[in-house]
Amino acid sequence: MIKLLEIPNMELEQRIKEELEENPTLDEGNGNDSEETPESVSPEDEKGFSIDEYSNTEDIPSYKLHINNVSQGEAKVEIPFSVGASFHEFLTAQLGMRSLSDAQKIIAQYIIGNIDEDGYLRRQVESIVDDLAFKQNIEASHEEVLKVIQIIQEFDPPGVCARSLQECLSIQLRYKESTPPVRLAEKILSRAFDEFAKKHYDKIMARFAIDEEELREAIAEILKLNPTPGGTHSDLPGKDNHNIIPDFILENRDGELILTMNMKNVPELRVSRTYSEMFQSYSANKDKLSQDQKDTLNFVKQKLDAAKWFIDAIKQRQNTLMNTMQAIVNYQKEYFQDGDETRLIPMILKDIADKTGLDISTISRVANSKYVQTQFGILPLKSLFSEGMQTDSGEEVSSREIKSILQECIDKENKRKPLTDDQLAVILNEKGYLIARRTVAKYREQLNIPVARLRKEL
């Protein structure tokens, strides 16, 4: 039950498919079976059997999983989901366009399998050589593996199969027209990458005897490059970083917030009538059964128990999720009206636990890896929980509101002299937000904003 509660709807669909494959007594069904059900049989049987529990399928939970949710044909918004070729399959397909030996093809396929979703090859050549020898029985030299890596580096998207950011950017520059700024950019990446990464522009200008305008043009060429070439193909169906499928859909209908569960791709479940009737029939004549038949009867009972439990567990999961999300919506009603983060009330797990009567650990599991679709975007539930702070007037504000103001300050700063964390703390204090420098640093890091030195621009 805990595992079912933790997984998002996208994984739930796969989990149900696995259960359907493993348990023959579990069926997909709409719960509208009008076939006459068999009569109950009096349970005058051996210990361990409860015939009346299974003798009438109407007593077995046969329900639609669309609990207070979007039923078929009623969804207002089409939710994206991923099918088709993966990013790695896209790379593998390009092998057919190159003339490779059988050994090179095996090496190439192994290398592609080790490319991460950002498009990088994070493994050392020596490690690949060892793996090929032990796992593929392929004796390949360091030079042979390196040759195949260089071949894959010529594939689309440009920069793929690089082993570092420096190599990734350098590969992409090879595809650009050889202009003075591009040539200078290549020199910077190959001979002054550390200085470039640390934004020590004075050292770069001195090393290459260039002025500020020449450096600006070269850096502009570098900034046009893609540091994560695998992300270029995020629209490829089936890529690991698939489109997010929300677990909840929240609609604002003239100020009224309507919450539904997105169960569009999750099948409905019921206990198999065939196996239920089989169990009833065999149980009624259990004294006349052979040992093998009794063993079969026990097996069917165990599977029927498992099917009933699984259906109940799914139902409990849906109820828990809906109760928790509805409590969150009620708590943050003002915020969900228009997405204005200044209206987001500080909220911790205990607040929702108190509202629902559920354990804090349960609320945490619900919030983890779940998303809600709103009129202003798809949000991770965990982003709605935050620590609270006070203004100088004693008013509580959400940390998300402070982060929003912090982002705004940094967006408007002079990039030649970016604001330090101390300066940002002073600005926030002047605006009435009582916040320390170390907290500014923490929020800045959470926003993936680098320190002032690395935000410096020419």
More confident residue, 157 or 75: 157
Helix axes 102-113, 125-135, angle to 10 degrees: 120
In a domain, 238, yes or no: no
**Region of 255 on the Ramachandran plot (φ > 0 left; ψ -120 to 50 alpha; else beta):** left
Report CA-CA distances (Å) from 122 to 61, 186, 281: 50, 23, 60
Q: Please tell me whether the peptide bond between 380 and the residue prior to it is cis, using omega within 30 degrees of 0.
A: no
pLDDT band at 387 (very low <50, low <70, confident <90, very high): low
Other C-beta atoms lying within 10 Å of the C-beta of residue 397: 21
For residues 393 and 356, state if they share a domain. no
Cβ pair 230, 119 in contact under 8 A: yes
CA end-to-end distance (rounded Å), the chain: 56
For residues 219 and 150, state if they share a domain. yes
Residue type, 173: L
What are the tokens at 285?
């004549």
In a domain, 278, yes or no: yes
Residue 353 confidence (pLDDT): 92
More confident residue, 216 or 60: 216
Last residue of a domain, one of 191, 208, 232: 232
In a domain, 171, yes or no: yes
What are the tokens at 378?
């798809």
Q: Is the pLDDT of residue 399 over 90?
A: no
Q: What is the 3-state secondary structure (H, E, C) of 108-125?
A: HHHHHHCECCCCEECCCH
For residues 93 and 228, state if they share a domain. yes
**Domain membership of residue 151 as a residue range:** 87-232
For residues 368 and 415, state if they share a domain. no
In a domain, 303, yes or no: yes
Please count the CA atoms within 13 angstroms of the CA of 29 that sit on its side-chain side: 17
Cβ pair 24, 303 in contact under 8 A: yes
The kind and range of the H/E element at 390 are strand 388-390
For residues 93 and 227, state if they share a domain. yes
For residues 195 and 265, state if they share a domain. no
In a domain, 5, yes or no: yes
Cβ pair 181, 220 in contact under 8 A: yes
For residues 1 and 19, state if they share a domain. yes
Check: pTM over 0.85? Answer yes or no: no
pLDDT band at 66 (very low <50, low <70, confident <90, very high): very low
Closest alpha carbon to 454 in 205, 124, 198: 198
For residues 134 and 215, state if they share a domain. yes
Least confident of 150-164, 283-297, 416-430: 283-297
Residue 43 confidence (pLDDT): 33
In a domain, 392, yes or no: yes
Q: Is the pLDDT of residue 41 over 80?
A: no
Kindly give, in sequence order, each residue whose CB lies less than 8 Å from that of residue 37, ignoring residues fewer than 6 positions away: 56, 57, 58, 273
Report CA-CA distances (Å) from 349 to 4, 316, 355, 446: 19, 20, 10, 20
Last residue of a domain, one of 342, 357, 385: 385
* CATH code of the domain in which 446 resides: 1.10.10.60
The helix/strand/coil state of 371 is strand
Whole-number average pLDDT of the chain: 79
Residue type, 320: T
For residues 36 and 103, state if they share a domain. no
Q: Is the pLDDT of residue 198 over 90?
A: no
Last residue of a domain, one of 191, 210, 232: 232
Tally the domains of the chain. Answer: 3
Burial class of residue 371, CB neighbours in 10 A (0-12, 13-18, 19+) = buried
Q: Is the pLDDT of residue 133 over 60?
A: yes
For residues 252 and 348, state if they share a domain. yes
Query: In what order do the strands lie in the sheet containing 248-253?
Result: 256-261, 248-253, 371-374, 377-380
Cβ pair 4, 20 in contact under 8 A: no
Q: Which residues pair with 271 in a beta bridge?
A: 26
For residues 116 and 16, state if they share a domain. no
Residue 336 confidence (pLDDT): 93
The helix/strand/coil state of 1 is coil
Hey, which of 57-61, 254-258, 396-400 has the most confident mean pLDDT? Answer: 254-258
Mean pLDDT of the 437-450 span: 86
pLDDT band at 238 (very low <50, low <70, confident <90, very high): very low
More confident residue, 167 or 404: 167
Residue 328 phi, psi (nearest 5): -65, -45
Q: How many residues in the chain?
A: 458
Residue 57 confidence (pLDDT): 34
The helix/strand/coil state of 69 is strand
What are the tokens at 419?
């604001």
In a domain, 32, yes or no: yes
In a domain, 237, yes or no: no
For residues 369 and 248, state if they share a domain. yes
